[in-house]
Amino acid sequence: MIQFPSARRSPRAFTLIELLVVIAIIAVLIALLLPAVQAAREAARRSQCVNNLKQLGLAMQNYHDTNGNLPIGRQGQDTLPINNNNPRRTWAFSVLQFFEQGTLYNAINFSLPFYDSTNTTAIRANVATYDCPSDPNGSTIEEPTSPYPRAKADYMVNFGNTHFYQDQRDNPFTLNLSPTNANYSNVPFFKAPFASNKSFGLRDMTDGTSNTLLLSEVIIGQNFGNNSDHRGDIYNDDNNCFFFNVFTAPNSQVPDSSIGFCNYPNPGVPPCNSNPSPADSFNAARSYHPGGVNASLADGSVRFVKNTVNLTPWRALGTMNGSEVISADSF
């Protein structure tokens, strides 16, 4: 008997419902994995940020060992004590040679202000150690079409518990931002590690180096068209440029006080008031790290300070001889 080969059945295709189920499962898996991937990336960026602050803290220590004091916060003709021979510049120039930026340091003419054409190449150079990798605006150039374009940065020195002018007026000066809010009224200034036309040493930190902030982060202010935001303008000695204050908490919702040069409200720009009353400028420490900011202490350590830190110990950390008692678990 002749046998005919049996016909082969083609494999059954997926039904539409089965395809949709598979796609849904893949989408759920991606949704579950994406936050973990993003968290891992942020952890790596935060680790690099800590490393940058450690390098800068070490550079400050090396500068201190070499010169017997920390660098000045800023020099300029409009500061007290008056010295018209002081060219305008900030601490950011002084420490370059102490964290492997000797070539850049040697390219600077220290007898001329930062905005002189001789210094344009130096101030435009992006220094990775000055940039937090979590800040998407780390490569921003301030006033790019001006004769003196300059690179912005994220790490700023501690200018104390009040404002930009600190001890340039009454001594100690009391900042009274809000008579109706005790947290922001009649706050007296106690000395900070950095000031205008002055330099201090570790010996001056009677509160102790482990209780005194040297550096922390700010979020670089974005420029919109011809409008500049001074926050992060690290080489400029002007208001809101090269420093942070502990008058307000990390990432505070209280607007930074900026005398002009402020682009809020705009997407991604921290809150600020460009026409403050009283006319005193201050910047909060700010970052893109969830929950707080990294900060370098004068003993060389780096701590993560939460946004929820109480203002009393936070301000105490921002002074160097306020005689405050700070518990180790309060920040």
Residue 270 within any structural domain of the chain: yes
Q: Could you tell me if residue 22 is inside a domain?
A: no
Q: What is the pLDDT of residues 189-232, one digit of tens each?
A: 889 999 988 899 999 999 999 999 999 999 999 888 778 899 99
pLDDT per position as a tens digit, 287-312: 999 999 999 999 999 999 999 999 99
Asked if 181 contacts 297 with a C-beta cutoff of 8 angstroms, the reply is no
pLDDT digits (tens, 9 = 90+) for 84-116: 567 889 999 999 999 999 999 999 999 889 989
- Residue 260: per-residue pLDDT: 85
For 130, 139, 156, 303, the CA distances from 49, given in Å and listed in that order, are 9, 15, 13, 11
Secondary structure (DSSP) of 46-114: HHHHHHHHHHHHHHHHHHHHHHSSPPPSEE-TTSSS--TT--SEEHHHHTGGGGT-HHHHHT--TTS-T
Which residue has tokens 């989408």?
Answer: 27
Give the pLDDT of residue 83.
56
Q: Does a structural domain hold residue 5?
A: no
Q: Which residue has the higher pLDDT, 30 or 126?
A: 126
Residue 305: how many CA atoms within 13 Å on its side-chain side? 32
Pairing type for strands 155-158 and 243-244 reads: parallel
Sign, Cα dihedral of 193, 194, 200, 202: positive
- 156-171 mean pLDDT: 83
- Residue 20 resides in a domain: no
Give the model's pLDDT for residue 53: 98
Q: Give the confidence band of 173 by pLDDT, cuts at 50, 70, 90.
A: low
For the stretch 23-63, pLDDT in tens is: 888 888 877 777 766 677 888 899 999 999 999 999 999 99
In this structure, the chain runs to a length of 331
- The range of the structural domain enclosing residue 170 comes to 33-330
- Asked if residue 23 belongs to a domain, the reply is no
Residue 141 has pLDDT above 60, yes or no: yes
Is residue 118 domain-resident?
yes
Q: How high is the pLDDT of residue 12?
A: 65
pLDDT at 79: 57
**If 0-12 CB within 10 Å is exposed, 13-18 middle and 19+ buried, where does residue 247 land?**
buried
Contact 318, 161 (CB under 8 A): yes
Tell me the three state secondary structure of residue 306: strand
Whether 243 is in a domain gets the answer: yes
With 60 as the cut, is the pLDDT of residue 7 above it? no
Does 284 score more than 90 pLDDT?
yes
pTM for this one?
0.86
Share of the chain above pLDDT 70, in %: 90
What confidence tier does 179 reach under pLDDT thresholds 50, 70, 90? confident
Per-residue pLDDT at 169 = 59
- Whether 305 and 291 have beta carbons less than 8 Å apart is answered as no
The answer to whether residue 233 is domain-embedded is yes
Structural domain count, the chain: 1
